[in-house]
Structure 1
């Protein structure tokens, strides 16, 4: 056993085997240590004046801090520190974690008013009925804003802004690339024209590139519609460019581009620079998706809308009337496109976002029994056209990725079978027929495809004629960026119906803020641009016979090349 004396010596670092130290030995040891310190201090070098001053400053600072600590304690500024756990004091309580509150989506429904302030007993049947009635009334008011108008109305009823026009003022008397787009970067210019070896192709390229941007006003000042342009059309008149544009809210804008800019006296600072004269009407309550001037009656403009109706605007009387719509206003059949035949001024053809194709003779009463309809696609049909030379043939482009060709002469209502179909990698946006029997399509797979069914004997096909899958493939594929995104209208090709040369050509918007013109063989003829174009002219249309091209942007602005 180790004695208490030895345990004590172990704690202080002494050897327990050493003899016990007496008071005399401890005194002698301390004296020896003091002698060693004095000897060592004598051997140490002398402290410099700078070091002495530094040590004095440290001592003075320590004394000051000690004095401040004593003063603070006496004033009660420092609380007694809590006892550590296990020292007999109570353990500090853990603060509860804040409750997580699920962030709910913002509710756009109007708040109900206080029943207590109105003097209605809480939870009473009267309060519940009153709140439900108020909510239903608000919802009905919102729905009423979007429901179509079935009645006929005049220019005064539709007029929104601009100049009120008469028929004579409006139409006159002569009416008979793949990849990310880099803004303003051209992919076709004069150098490409000079490299052209084909004489005919070189001539048409020079002709197309000779078109200039209408510079009477900056394009930023030609706001033809209040909202994004969805559809455009030229009037067939060759005496002046008369342009119609429809936007996403149902507005119809009209511009006579033959007007000249008034002269402004530069010395008169108070005189404003006037904007171009425009007329804005509102015949529809929702997006105007398509429009066409009656090829047999150029005084009538037909507009199709997502409000499920097709309306006729009389350009002489400036009145609008509904020509087709479902029997009930509660039926939602958004119309995606409309077309007519040149030698039949009374029949309307249209497609819907539900995948239906319809036909109606306007001379008959508007009843369900007088309307012919076929379910041609399970998904929406984004665009279609009739073949101008063989109008019983119809080309449809749909969201299910198919281009289909139909023959209306013997088309079953129960089980319609196409003459031919071709599946694309992604959805097809539009299918445009020209007089030569060629179909141009735009697709989300960033291609423009051209199908030459005229060369396959379209005019000689009999009823129920069909093509094998391998016989209906594109003859030409052009790489073209079609990634419009959410805020730019879908790019759609549009042919010039009566070109003044043997070369067929069509135009389509370019995401680099140009309008491209291609031939039926896929050769690029021109790339139209100009100063002041700051947005994509996504909706591009050709005049029927003149070399005039118009483009509409997402901000409702117009670009015109002549």
Structure 2
């Protein structure tokens, strides 16, 4: 018996058929009639396989065979003497091939290791720039070797003239507020890590250290190149770039050789010191055209260097929290190591007027000031006398050769807490986060520090405190400036850099995350903000100033492009 569903279905079909017949749609009526299901088609009978045509055999040539197999075939008619001679030649050939393979492997390994020997400029210059070596040599020949002695704190600008301080600030603002972009060039191929302005007054010569161990030398105001076309017309090429050279001082050319610091010899401005993450410090003399290694560590990254005003003493900080002293008059093997922190010391600075004071900044969130005259006693016997705070001459009273030893962090800490070590650690000023940099101003009185807590701090240390042997009384900066220091992974750390000009009112420059360069006074007052939205579209992370010309500021970014800020009327 059909189900209710089938009965209802039949009624619907009949109803639809009657409706369609009224509309004279006979084809649609026929479509309503259910068609019987199609029967499955029967499988086709299996077809017999067709016989395949046999392949035509092609005559084969002689098969390739390795030299080893060919040599292993023994000719029964070959004499024993000839066979012995052939075996000897084969062994000699194999030995030569193995020697060549080992030499290639050694060359590949050497290409990845730091270079420790003396290197000529022809070796350091990049490919394609060898012909410019003569131009670079003539550039330094045309400049005199400037000599800088230890300056007195009261030389140049005098901070005691408080009544005229507003006048000096006004003059400084008038000189700096109208600086414009007068030159731009991609001086280095990679991110700029460090910079130094040459003291020559007739040139705007700047040195830039990049991420891959290359030193860029930029003559920003050099005469432009003129090129004559086919029609005889002369056109100017790269009018706003000046001239630049690149020297691969540190090796290998990877991020393992980033140039962390560039310093110009205070006695001979033709000599440049560079420190890098390849654990070496090199001295490059342009008159002689030779770069030599002056310091090396064992797999510890070098973060900062500074040279005393006499040009004889170099201080070096590393990522392990150690500070090294190197007497440049002695062999590079004679060094002294002091463990001044249990974390990385990212920056150190020597007081330019009192070279016995050293300031260090580290990831331990502290800024410390050390008296070098007493720090040296940690490496000597208790019987040796402690030098008085007002001792004349350099920071060391005894020959530096006696200091060829080491003192770890625990030893230095125990010494500073002892009676004999009183006055060695003159200040320990805490920050909220890591201290990325700290520098003395040109007169050796102010200190500016930058920290990851987005703050610039300023300290003013009086002469009376420096002349005493007790700890500095102030533990708080006299000014704190809010400044974004969150550079992240792809930008160089922002560092506040003092203008090295002792004749000008003390001021410093620092890059800003809004693509500008800020200039502050030693009191923390903003002098001006250098910016150009049409020409500058990146963070100017690295800055420096001319040692004797106030109206000169240079900055560099993460792509290797550098900018010279100067008055437009002097272009």
Do Structure 1 and Structure 2 share a fold, with TM-score over 0.5?
A: yes
Counterparts in 2 of 1:404 and 1:542: CA distance versus 1, 3 Å: same
2:354/2:444 contact within 8 Å kept: no
Tell me which moved more, 306-315 or 145-154.
Answer: 145-154
What is the match of residue 435 of structure 2?
A: 428
Superposed, 1:396-435 pairs within 5 Å as 396-411=360-375, 412=378, 413=407, 414-416=411-413, 417=416, 418-434=425-441, 435=443
- Structure 1 position 151 matched with structure 2 position 153: no
Give 2:276's match in structure 1, choosing from 288, 305, 311.
305
Q: Deviations over 1:450-484 (max 9, x none)?
A: 122x237343222xx2246xx21121111111111
2:145/2:268 contact within 8 Å kept: no
1:146/1:307 contact within 8 Å kept: no
Aligned mates of 1:299, 1:352 — CA distance in 2: 26
What is the match of residue 526 of structure 2?
A: 524
Aligned mates of 2:507, 2:30 — CA distance in 1: 96
Structure 1 residue 373 displacement after superposition: 1.1
Aligned mates of 2:123, 2:324 — CA distance in 1: 29
Secondary structure of the residue that 1:492 maps to in structure 2? coil
Aligned mates of 1:51, 1:250 — CA distance in 2: 95
Q: Could you list the runs of 5+ residues in structure 1 that have no partner in the other structure?
A: 1-7, 14-36, 38-43, 78-117, 120-134, 177-196
What is the match of residue 322 of structure 2?
A: 356
Aligned mates of 1:56, 1:518 — CA distance in 2: 98
2:228/2:234 contact within 8 Å kept: no
Counterparts in 2 of 1:262 and 1:394: CA distance versus 1, 3 Å: same
Q: Return the TM-score normalized by structure 1.
A: 0.69
Aligned mates of 1:480, 1:136 — CA distance in 2: 55
Superposed, 1:70-81 pairs within 5 Å as 70-71=37-38, 73-75=39-41
Structure 1 residue 505 displacement after superposition: 0.4
Superposed, 1:332-481 pairs within 5 Å as 332-342=299-309, 344-367=310-333, 370-411=334-375, 412=378, 413=407, 414-416=411-413, 417=416, 418-434=425-441, 435-452=443-460, 454-455=461-462, 457-462=464-469, 465-467=470-472, 471-481=474-484
Structure 1 residue 268 displacement after superposition: 7.2
Q: Deviations over 1:202-251 (max 9, x none)?
A: 44223211212124xxx3xx111121111110111111111111111111
Aligned mates of 1:481, 1:199 — CA distance in 2: 30
Structure 1 residue 499 displacement after superposition: 4.3
Give 1:170's match in structure 2, choosing from 116, 140, 144.
140
Superposed, 1:66-465 pairs within 5 Å as 66-67=34-35, 70-71=37-38, 73-75=39-41, 144-160=110-126, 162=129, 163-164=132-133, 165-170=135-140, 172-176=142-146, 200-215=168-183, 219=184, 222-263=185-226, 273-274=237-238, 276-285=242-251, 286-326=257-297, 331-342=298-309, 344-367=310-333, 370-411=334-375, 412=378, 413=407, 414-416=411-413, 417=416, 418-434=425-441, 435-452=443-460, 454-455=461-462, 457-462=464-469, 465=470
Aligned mates of 1:137, 1:379 — CA distance in 2: 41
Counterparts in 2 of 1:372 and 1:513: CA distance versus 1, 3 Å: same
2:196/2:264 contact within 8 Å kept: yes
Aligned mates of 2:308, 2:243 — CA distance in 1: 32
- Structure 1 position 540 matched with structure 2 position 543: yes
Structure 1 residue 173 displacement after superposition: 3.2
Secondary structure of the residue that 2:181 maps to in structure 1? coil
Aligned mates of 1:199, 1:386 — CA distance in 2: 30
Q: Could you list the runs of 5+ residues in structure 2 that have no partner in the other structure?
A: 5-10, 44-67, 70-100, 147-164, 252-256, 379-406, 417-424, 567-571
Q: Deviations over 1:352-388 (max 9, x none)?
A: 1111101111222222xx2111011111111111111
Aligned mates of 2:535, 2:222 — CA distance in 1: 20
What is the match of residue 91 of structure 1?
A: none
What is the match of residue 122 of structure 1?
A: none
Q: Return the TM-score normalized by structure 2.
A: 0.68
Q: Deviations over 1:264-316 (max 9, x none)?
A: 67987997835642211111111111011111111211111111111111122
Aligned mates of 1:519, 1:362 — CA distance in 2: 34
Secondary structure of the residue that 1:260 maps to in structure 2? coil
Aligned mates of 1:386, 1:346 — CA distance in 2: 13
1:246/1:289 contact within 8 Å kept: yes
Aligned mates of 2:214, 2:445 — CA distance in 1: 34
Counterparts in 2 of 1:374 and 1:262: CA distance versus 1, 3 Å: same
Q: Deviations over 1:406-456 (max 9, x none)?
A: 11111134224322112222111111111241111111111111122x237
Secondary structure of the residue that 2:225 maps to in structure 1? coil
Cα-Cα RMSD: 3.7
Aligned mates of 2:236, 2:182 — CA distance in 1: 21
1:400/1:427 contact within 8 Å kept: yes
Counterparts in 2 of 1:362 and 1:430: CA distance versus 1, 3 Å: same
1:346/1:363 contact within 8 Å kept: yes
Aligned mates of 1:52, 1:459 — CA distance in 2: 119
Superposed, 1:7-18 pairs within 5 Å as none
